[in-house]
């Protein structure tokens, strides 16, 4: 009679010389147990590895950085992401340009031009007012997500005029009959001659329609921003700012989003 093989705690035989254990039904059963245990161990290891990957969170996702570059103006490529507009499209005589200032070591954008309240004689357009120019970011795929931030910051060197900062968000209605982006505006004034970082909390941007503040209860959706703009008018603005027709000049280094709360 052959000596029965010794078994481990799982009931499977320990390794023995071939002559000590002949093939039998018990051998086949233990092979099945071993295969099942191998599959279990593989499944368990895969589960552990998946859990480790899930726990390896991105720290930036859990706690976003305190600031985020939205736009910079340090190259012609960055400048090309913007387009200009003015009352000249509707018969006005204002003009604007957006260029790179490469005179020094650092490159900055220069938004400049001339504001005029005159209208081209015989123009087919009937505009209520003239004397405005602006620069707006071009359309792009997707959205700028600033949901983790509460303030817009701009490094600017101005001319004493009042400028308008506009944020465009996806239209809440989102229907073919209402395709205009929602717009949110805030006045900014930059003292003449030196660089300043202007900060505007997002909740200080007011909902507007075609330049007029609208009395509706809307909240900006900072996760669905589709563009931004900076503009200037010959008239209006805040007390103390330079107004009237004439030259304007605004130097721009960058636009950032800040987390201050």
Which of these three, 15, 31, 56, is where a domain ends? 56
My answer on whether 137 and 202 are in the same domain is yes
Final residue of a domain: which of 56, 83, 103? Answer: 56
Bigger pLDDT: 46 or 33? Answer: 46
Instruction: For residues 197 and 75, state if they share a domain.
Output: yes
Supply the CATH number for residue 119's domain: 2.60.120.430
Q: Are residues 211 and 127 in the same domain?
A: yes
pLDDT at 106: 80
Q: What is the mean pLDDT of the chain?
A: 82
Please state which of the ranges 61-65, 121-125, 256-260 shows the lowest mean pLDDT: 61-65
Parallel, antiparallel, or unpaired for β 82-86 and 132-137? antiparallel
Same domain for 230 and 150, yes or no, is yes
Local structure of residue 161 (DSSP, 8 states): B
Lowest mean pLDDT among 7-16, 73-82, 156-165, 172-181: 7-16
Domain boundary among 16, 35, 56: 56
**What does the alpha-carbon distance between residue 27 and residue 103 come to, in Å, rounded to a whole number?**
86
Domain that holds residue 40: 1-56
Pick the residue with more confidence: 39 or 167?
167
What mean pLDDT do residues 78-107 have?
90
Same domain, 29 and 134: no
CB 166 within 8 A of CB 183: yes
What confidence tens digit (pLDDT) does each residue in 170-228 have? 986 554 545 678 999 999 988 898 999 999 999 999 999 877 888 888 889 999 999 99
Q: How many domains is the chain partitioned into structurally? A: 2
Most confident of 23-32, 47-56, 176-185: 176-185
Which residues, other chains included, contact 170 with Cβ-Cβ below 8 Å and sequence gap of 6+? 143, 181, 182, 221, 224, 226
Do 188 and 247 meet the contact criterion of CB atoms below 8 Å apart?
no
Q: Which residue has the higher pLDDT, 126 or 113?
A: 113
Q: Both 4 and 95 in a single domain?
A: no
Q: What is the pLDDT of residue 11?
A: 52
Do residues 157 and 103 share a domain?
yes
Whether residue 13 is found in the same domain as residue 74? no
Closest CA to 90 of 58, 134, 47: 134
Question: Is a pLDDT exceeding 80 seen at residue 26?
Answer: no
Q: Is pLDDT larger for residue 25 or for residue 162?
A: 162
Q: Are residues 10 and 114 in the same domain?
A: no
Is the pLDDT score of 253 beyond 60?
A: yes
Residues 48, 68 within the same domain: no
Domain co-membership, 204 together with 111: yes
**pLDDT of amino acid 57:** 46
Burial of 77 (0-12, 13-18, 19+ CB in 10 A): exposed
pLDDT at site 115: 98
230 and 187, same domain (yes or no): yes
Q: What is the pTM of this model?
A: 0.72
> Average of pLDDT values for 4-27?
47
Statement: residue 10 has pLDDT above 90: no
Selected residue with higher pLDDT from 82 and 7 = 82
Question: Residue 39 pLDDT > 90, yes or no?
Answer: no
């Amino acid at each position: 009679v052959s000596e029965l093989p010794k078994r481990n705690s799982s009931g499977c035989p320990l390794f023995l010389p071939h002559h000590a254990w002949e093939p039998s039904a018990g051998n086949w059963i233990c092979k099945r147990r071993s295969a099942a245990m191998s599959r279990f161990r593989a499944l368990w290891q895969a589960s552990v590895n998946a859990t480790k990957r899930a726990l390896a969170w991105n720290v930036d996702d859990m706690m976003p950085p305190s600031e985020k570059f939205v736009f910079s103006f340090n190259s012609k490529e960055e400048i090309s992401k913007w387009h200009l507009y003015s009352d000249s499209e509707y018969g006005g005589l204002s003009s604007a340009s957006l260029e790179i200032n490469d005179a020094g070591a650092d490159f900055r954008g220069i938004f400049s031009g001339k504001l005029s309240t005159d209208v081209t004689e015989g123009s087919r357009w009937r505009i209520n007012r003239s004397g405005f120019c602006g620069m707006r970011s071009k359309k792009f795929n997707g959205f700028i997500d600033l949901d983790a931030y509460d303030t817009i910051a701009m490094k600017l060197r101005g001319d004493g005029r009042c400028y308008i900062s506009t944020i465009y968000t996806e239209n809440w209605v989102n229907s073919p009959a209402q395709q205009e982006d929602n717009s949110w505006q805030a006045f900014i004034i930059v003292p003449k001659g030196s660089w300043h970082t202007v900060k505007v909390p997002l909740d200080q941007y007011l909902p507007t329609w075609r330049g007029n503040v609208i009395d509706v209860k809307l909240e900006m959706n900072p996760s669905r921003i589709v563009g931004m703009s900076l503009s200037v008018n010959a008239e209006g603005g805040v007390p103390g700012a330079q107004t009237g027709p004439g030259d304007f000049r605004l130097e721009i280094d960058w636009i950032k989003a800040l987390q201050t709360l």
